[in-house]
Amino acid sequence: MSFKKIMAGIGVCSLGFASSAVFSADFNMRLSHGDNESNPTHHAALKFQELVEEYSDGRIEVEIYPSNQLGDEQEVAQSMRRGTIESAIVYTGNLVPLAPSAGVLMLPYAFTSSEEAWPAMDALQEPLNERISKEAGVRAVGLLEKGFRVLTTAEEPVRTLDDLEGQNIRVSPNNIAIETFKAWGIDPTPMAWAEVFSALQQGVIDGQENPYTTAISSNFYEVQDYITEIHYMMWTGPLLVSEQFYQRLPDDLQDAVDRAGVETANYERELSAKLTEEAKNELVDLGMELLGPPEDEAQWQEKAKAIWPEFYEDIGGEEWALEAQRIMDEAINNQ
């Protein structure tokens, strides 16, 4: 059995070496995420740790496990349902197979900017929680955002839809991403996040799509040459708490976790916006060519938006999909 599986299978209380404070806190929260320590996700994890420990007066201790140490994002989401991992930050696309209703955050071209996405996500958080707690036994205490997912490729630049032909692009394993790329004329390769860098390095795939900050933190500039700003989807990711764990907390500690979650999301969104701008310059210095949006962006949008109704069954049904869009549109219009 791998080290990470062993880590996922045992409680941290038996990991005496992990932290001496484990034994003084009333509750221990392991927080898993799939990025490394230079990614905004990890900065968010650190902020959440600081705020939970402060607002709970040390009665909750948070231990962070970056880089998929406790399992890949989908495995971790499953463990949270069972209550064997207490919290995680997971890309929405990796949660959707377990919690379809979260897919409303992923409809292609649903958001045109972070300024739109933030109030929309805030308005959606409570109604979304009612659904994902039933679907997957998790609740989002904050909704994070890292800017648009951009397409990176090696060797062949993608300036138009036609340029996609022949490219083997990895997407996160969810139907929305898969069907969107199919609408653009190619069959993408769904793959777990933990495998992406080596697949790029070995040439198993030609490209992938993730935010600018991830292209830096995951060293994609070593194995990728071009970036196209396809603007189709933002990286949104819930800061999740296992419902089983949450329900074990007394009211005052639930409040502490909720407050820390919202403040962490606000902190992470601002930080990501700043780091995204820095990442663009850094990627150019590191040799990547930034191509900007596709020359025929309107066609990309038209093809992807045309298939929205096909996604409704995958994201909790038409009624929910339309209700979620109404809630988000109202929040955007009222800001």
Which residue ranges make up the site for ligand MLT (CB under 6 A)? 34-35, 73, 91, 94, 172, 193, 210, 214, 235
Rounded Cα gap, residues 201 and 203, in angstroms? 5
186 in Cβ contact with 156 (< 8 Å): no
Of 148 and 235, which CB lies nearer to ligand MLT in the complex structure?
A: 235
**Strand partners for 27:** 60
Position of tokens 């990286």?
235
Of 8 and 77, which CB lies nearer to ligand MLT in the complex structure?
A: 77
Residue 192: CB atoms within 10 Å: 18
Q: How far is the CB of 117 from ligand MLT (least distance, A)?
A: 15
Q: At 142, list the tokens.
A: 């904050």
Q: How far is the CB of 141 from ligand MLT (least distance, A)?
A: 17
Of 249 and 283, which CB lies nearer to ligand MLT in the complex structure?
A: 283
Strands 234-242 and 207-210: unpaired
Of 56 and 210, which CB lies nearer to ligand MLT in the complex structure?
A: 210
Q: How far is the CB of 26 from ligand MLT (least distance, A)?
A: 30
Q: How far is the CB of 288 from ligand MLT (least distance, A)?
A: 18
Residue 238: CB atoms within 10 Å: 29
Helix (H, G, I), strand (E, B) or coil at 306: helix
Of 72 and 86, which CB lies nearer to ligand MLT in the complex structure?
A: 72
Of 194 and 290, which CB lies nearer to ligand MLT in the complex structure?
A: 194
Q: How far is the CB of 235 from ligand MLT (least distance, A)?
A: 6
Of 55 and 91, which CB lies nearer to ligand MLT in the complex structure?
A: 91
Q: How far is the CB of 44 from ligand MLT (least distance, A)?
A: 11
Q: How far is the CB of 23 from ligand MLT (least distance, A)?
A: 32
Q: How far is the CB of 162 from ligand MLT (least distance, A)?
A: 25
**Strand partners for 198:** none
Rg (CA), the chain: 19
158 in Cβ contact with 166 (< 8 Å): no
Rounded Cα gap, residues 274 and 282, in angstroms? 13
Of 90 and 158, which CB lies nearer to ligand MLT in the complex structure?
A: 90
On the 0-12 / 13-18 / 19+ scale of CB atoms within 10 A, 162 is exposed
Residue type, position 80, single letter:
M
Query: DSSP letter string over 81-137?
Result: HHTSS-EEE--HHHHTTT-GGGGGGGSTTS-SSHHHHHHHHHHHHHHHHHHHHHHHS
Q: At 168, list the tokens.
A: 């083997």
